[in-house]
Structure 1
Amino acid sequence: MIAPAPTNSPEPAPPALAGSRSLNDRPDRAWDKGLTLFALALGSFAIGTSAFASMGIIQLFSQSLNISLPEATWAISAYAAGVVIGAPLLTIGAAPMNRRTLLMLLMAIFLAGSVLSALAQDLTTLLIARFISGVPHGVYFGASAVVATHIIGLGHGGKAFAIIMAGLTVATVIGAPAVTYIGQVWGWREAYAVVATMAAITTVTLYLRVPRTAALNGQPVSIKIAALRSGAAWGLMAVAATGVSSIFAVYTVIAPVVTEVARLPQGTIPVALAVFGTGMTIGNAVGGVLADRFATRGITLGYGCALGFLVMLALGGAQPAVLLVSLFGVGASIMTVIPTVQVRLVRFAPEAPSLMGALNVASLNVANGLGAWVAGTTVGAGGSYLSAAWSGFVLTALGLFIFVLTLQRRCKGG
């Protein structure tokens, strides 16, 4: 096992730059730091809006393209496949690239995928578009985490990753509900056009705010590949991929649960999405604190609470009050886990934090695809929409079981 190191070591700067001053060395530049962190979070906001709004408008493009709901979930899975494939391959391929340049390249790819999504006229084109949109997702979060750590400083890996993830969670509160509403009023293609606009704005913002510094240069490909040898890191990613699946199983069926199970008007869907997103935002903030203070508590506490809320949703989701409380609880509980997973992954492979960040997000998108697939399969086999919560319960219980049985002691020991 690699010897313990700071949980959030930035990628090493070239030797000649070891004594150079960075944005983090200038206390008088606090405003600049804040704007840079905002620019990074804006990118994750755009990406999160795209990922989660697709679930909010799934009924719209299902009807428009004349496909069934289970078939429509393939678009969610295609996006997740783009993340899973793109994260390791693009991170390794772009290893020598400066993180600033990489971030803008990633947003350009995301912009292209979003435009193609808005123009899609059939399921095949939509699947290709969503795959392209997903390719930069994991790499963006990994590279952004490195830049955020450079800005904030060592010893705050959980906080840095939580700031980047905050853009995604705020997207579930504001971005996804707003784009879902736009889809309901103007159409699902217009919804993706709004996401494309966000991507264009983010690209410009990153160009203006991310510092030009050789301290953000990449590393040789060999270092990235060597980091992939950590068995504990792969095990922890499996824990995330299974356990976090429940949040996506539930999110995939929110729209039909609101309208067909709870019998609420369609206009309530954005409200339910916002409640779910508020829980995610709060859980992410709590998870960032837990990740920097405790080795495993964020994982065990988060998964344990999620199991209780999933049962509540499965049994009482037809009641509006129970539905909203359950959605909030599932979102908050699962998001508490993610910053701890990130910090522990970097501890297992401290020489390649951006790769670990990308693989963390890739594992979450395995969870995305798995959760959407399980929900679609369960419902397609004749189960009620609330049966997706039971499927999520099984997956989260499996993730917690794997962690406690095989990795909890390893994580505590670093």
Structure 2
Amino acid sequence: MTDCSALDRPLEDDRQTTIGLTATTILLIEIALAAGGFGIGTGEFVIMGLLPEVASTYGVSVPDAGHVISAYALGVVIGAPIIAALAAKLPRRTLLLALMGVFAAGNLASALATDFWSFTLLRFITGLPHGAYFGVAALVAASMAEPHRRVRAVGRVMLGLTIATLVGTPIATFLGQLMNWRAAFLLVAGIGALTVALIALYLPKDKVAEGASIRRELSAFGRLQVWLSFGVAAVGFGGMFAIFSYIAKTVTDTAGMPVSMVAVVLALFGIGMNVGNIVGSRMADYSLNGTIGGMLAFNIILMSIFSLTAHNPVMLCVCVFLTGCGFAACPAVQTRLMDVAADAQTLAAATNHSAFNIANALGAWLGGIVIAAGYGYGATGYVGSVLSALGLVIFLISVALDRKPSRG
């Protein structure tokens, strides 16, 4: 059985730093942290709508230009665990400022890149702080909340990311198409710089947790529960990306809707993500495991219905909205990883975003295989259903092992 006292100790240490903060100050800190999430989300997704412009500028094909998306995702996967481990002895405020500083500088440099390969390298570098920032921000937010409200605190930080899909990305994309794609990255760099200023202004200085070290952070990889929770995220939530990666062609080719409706369907997905984040955070504060397991089971059914009804425009819209709502599990998985890692929480919290980027790559890859095999774009829902089922199996194994009484 998990040692609850060990799980609570790091957050209790952090609460010593936040004692005396007013509700207004805590809200301002959460807004500052969410602003970083807004910038990261906008920067990550805006490139998808500007690939033709980037390809034209550098004289490459659109598929080749797509490598910059993979480069960013690779940066997230690699950067999260390495930075979290190496920065173990840094105060969290200092680390957040450094991470967002690198993010802002990386986007500024991306906007000024003179050739395609330097642009690709800069997107990789810009992706490095992504996971570590969200992980540390989640820990800071949770440390300021009461135990029964900590998932909601994590959800409020994640709200920056979900709002970015609905507001930030469309605005940046419009700006990039109206002026130049470089203007979009200048905007993202400005959001990053604003975040640095807000964190410096509102987040109080903190001390390094007692006993913090690279070795302690790396100890997270020695815990089976960390690997199982990582697997739940990397496998179980790949279905969302299997569907989302090919949604434009599903809208036009399978449902027979006009191209103009693609933006509407994408907006429905973004609205669903925001609803899921808010509702899921509240659900997880009542039952963390119930929320994760429930959403995986829900996705198995939902994504099967998606494939069966993708030809119907109304059902397609409903299913896309509900698929976005599947983001409800993200704050819960983030919090569970923080819990099972005991005193190696920074690395575990950061690797959650590595896991979701692996889910992104896995879902898109498997979805592409099914489409190439001739099953059609609607069949991506079946891919999602299978991945959700595998994730649920991993999760049930994790819960079963966690309930076993420890020996000695």
| TM-score (normalizing by structure 1) | 0.86
Closer/same/farther in 2, CA of residues 122 and 393 from structure 1, 3 Å limit: farther
Matching residue's letter, 1:25: G
Are 1:410 and 2:401 matched, yes or no? yes
Contact 1:178 1:270 in 2 (8 A): no
Instruction: Kindly state the Cα deviation for residue 151 of structure 1 after the two structures are TM-superposed.
Output: 2.2
The 2-side partners of 1:122 and 1:218 are apart by: 45
Are 1:388 and 2:383 matched, yes or no? no
Structure 1 residues 17-44: Cα deviation after superposition (integer angstroms, max 9, x where no partner): x9x6x43434xx2111111110011111
2:316 alignment partner, SS class? helix
Unaligned 5+ segments in structure 1 are: none
Name the counterpart of 2:181.
188
Contact 1:76 1:372 in 2 (8 A): no
Which stretch of structure 1 is more off in the superposition, 155-164 or 275-284? 155-164
Are 1:372 and 2:364 matched, yes or no? yes
- Aligned counterparts, 1:261-340, within 5 A: 261-262=254-255, 264=257, 266-333=259-326, 335-340=327-332
Name the counterpart of 1:134.
127
Are 1:360 and 2:355 matched, yes or no? no
Instruction: Kindly state the Cα deviation for residue 6 of structure 1 after the two structures are TM-superposed.
Output: 7.0
Name the counterpart of 2:78.
85
Matching residue's letter, 1:391: V
Instruction: Kindly state the Cα deviation for residue 94 of structure 1 after the two structures are TM-superposed.
Output: 0.7
The 2-side partners of 1:68 and 1:387 are apart by: 25
2:89 alignment partner, SS class? coil
Instruction: Kindly state the Cα deviation for residue 344 of structure 1 after the two structures are TM-superposed.
Output: 2.3
The 2-side partners of 1:200 and 1:264 are apart by: 40
Name the counterpart of 2:10.
10
Instruction: Kindly state the Cα deviation for residue 255 of structure 1 after the two structures are TM-superposed.
Output: 3.5
Closer/same/farther in 2, CA of residues 8 and 155 from structure 1, 3 Å limit: farther
Closer/same/farther in 2, CA of residues 59 and 216 from structure 1, 3 Å limit: farther
Closer/same/farther in 2, CA of residues 213 and 291 from structure 1, 3 Å limit: same
Matching residue's letter, 2:4: P
Contact 1:56 1:255 in 2 (8 A): no
Matching residue's letter, 2:343: E
Unaligned 5+ segments in structure 2 are: none
The 2-side partners of 1:95 and 1:362 are apart by: 18
Instruction: Kindly state the Cα deviation for residue 270 of structure 1 after the two structures are TM-superposed.
Output: 3.6
Contact 1:295 1:411 in 2 (8 A): no
Structure 1 residues 35-87: Cα deviation after superposition (integer angstroms, max 9, x where no partner): 11100111111111222333344455456654254x55433332221111111
Which stretch of structure 1 is more off in the superposition, 37-46 or 5-14? 5-14
- Aligned counterparts, 1:7-406, within 5 A: 9-10=9-10, 13=13, 22-26=17-21, 29-58=22-51, 61=54, 65-69=59-63, 71-120=64-113, 124-214=117-207, 219-262=212-255, 264=257, 266-333=259-326, 335-379=327-371, 384-404=376-396, 406=397
Matching residue's letter, 1:67: S
Closer/same/farther in 2, CA of residues 340 and 327 from structure 1, 3 Å limit: same
Contact 1:296 1:411 in 2 (8 A): no
The 1-side partners of 2:159 and 2:7 are apart by: 20
Contact 1:176 1:273 in 2 (8 A): no
2:222 alignment partner, SS class? coil
1:95 alignment partner, SS class? coil
Percentage of identical aligned residues: 36
Matching residue's letter, 1:397: A
Instruction: Kindly state the Cα deviation for residue 141 of structure 1 after the two structures are TM-superposed.
Output: 1.0
Closer/same/farther in 2, CA of residues 132 and 13 from structure 1, 3 Å limit: same
Contact 2:41 2:165 in 1 (8 A): yes
Instruction: Kindly state the Cα deviation for residue 121 of structure 1 after the two structures are TM-superposed.
Output: 6.0
Instruction: Kindly state the Cα deviation for residue 100 of structure 1 after the two structures are TM-superposed.
Output: 0.8
Instruction: Kindly state the Cα deviation for residue 96 of structure 1 after the two structures are TM-superposed.
Output: 0.5
Instruction: Kindly state the Cα deviation for residue 104 of structure 1 after the two structures are TM-superposed.
Output: 1.1
The 1-side partners of 2:247 and 2:198 are apart by: 33
* Ranges of 4+ aligned residues in structure 1 off by more than 6 Å: 215-218
Structure 1 residues 262-285: Cα deviation after superposition (integer angstroms, max 9, x where no partner): 455555444322211111112122
CA RMSD of aligned residues (A): 2.9
2:5 alignment partner, SS class? coil
| TM-score (normalizing by structure 2) | 0.88
Closer/same/farther in 2, CA of residues 394 and 129 from structure 1, 3 Å limit: farther
The 1-side partners of 2:6 and 2:284 are apart by: 13
Name the count of aligned residue pairs.
Answer: 404
Contact 1:95 1:218 in 2 (8 A): no
